[in-house]
């Protein structure tokens, strides 16, 4: 049974002829072995999309999503490393400097050499490192948020294409099931 606006597909030994409520049209002659469906919600309702093209688009979106997942994982690992460095520097700042007596000497490891350093220089170096680490953590958190947003958009796009393709395939299969 065809309702108003139903789309039907017919194949006569070559190109596919498609009739919609918006008119009839012939698909390209080189597509005789392809399956065509109309994607719901397209701006041009009479647009006919090859299922192979849908598969290719889904594959490309899936690869983009996987790349975003990898980027997110790398960003999270970088943030974890920075957090560990921050904890180490906080430990030095709060515990090690607190244990030092005024007359004790501080040495800084530069390559294979230990160099004598003033306490104020050491404290400012550690404070500077902490500020830098905090800025990097903030930058990475923003980057992680951006990546998560991009991943959500890709996931939504993949789901929309999959559901449209499934609905269109079901619509295309319904007339064939009615014949049987």
pLDDT of residue 137: 97
CATH of domain 61-157: 1.10.287.370
Residue 40's contacts (CB-CB under 8 Å, 6 or more residues apart) are: 164, 167, 168
Rounded-to-integer distance, Cα 56 and Cα 62, Å: 10
Q: How many CA atoms lie within 13 A of 178 on its CB side?
A: 9
**Model pLDDT for residues 97-134, shown as the tens digit of each residue:** 889 888 889 999 999 999 999 999 999 999 999 999 99
Rounded-to-integer distance, Cα 55 and Cα 51, Å: 6
pLDDT of residue 55: 81
pTM: 0.63
pLDDT of residue 103: 86
* Domain layout of the chain by residue ranges: 61-157
Rounded-to-integer distance, Cα 45 and Cα 4, Å: 14
pLDDT of residue 49: 52
pLDDT of residue 178: 59
Residues of the chain with pLDDT under 50: 1-47
Residue 13 gets the label, from left (phi > 0), alpha (psi -120 to 50) or beta, of left
């Amino acid at each position: 049974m065809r309702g108003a606006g139903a789309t039907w597909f017919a194949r006569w030994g070559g190109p596919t002829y498609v009739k919609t409520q918006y008119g009839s049209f012939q698909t390209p002659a080189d597509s005789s072995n392809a399956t065509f469906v109309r994607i719901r919600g397209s701006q041009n309702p009479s647009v006919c999309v090859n299922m192979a093209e849908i598969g290719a688009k889904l594959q490309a979106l899936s690869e983009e999503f996987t790349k975003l997942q990898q980027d997110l994982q790398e960003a999270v690992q970088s943030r974890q490393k920075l957090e560990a460095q921050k904890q180490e520097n906080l430990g030095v700042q709060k515990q090690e400097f607190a244990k030092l007596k005024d007359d004790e000497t501080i040495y800084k490891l530069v390559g294979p050499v230990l160099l004598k350093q003033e306490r104020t220089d050491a404290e400012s170096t550690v404070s500077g490192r902490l500020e830098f680490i905090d800025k990097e953590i903030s930058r990475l958190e923003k980057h992680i948020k951006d990546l998560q947003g991009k991943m959500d958009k890709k996931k939504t796009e993949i789901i929309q294409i999959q559901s449209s393709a499934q609905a269109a395939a079901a619509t295309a299969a319904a007339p064939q099931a009615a014949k049987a």
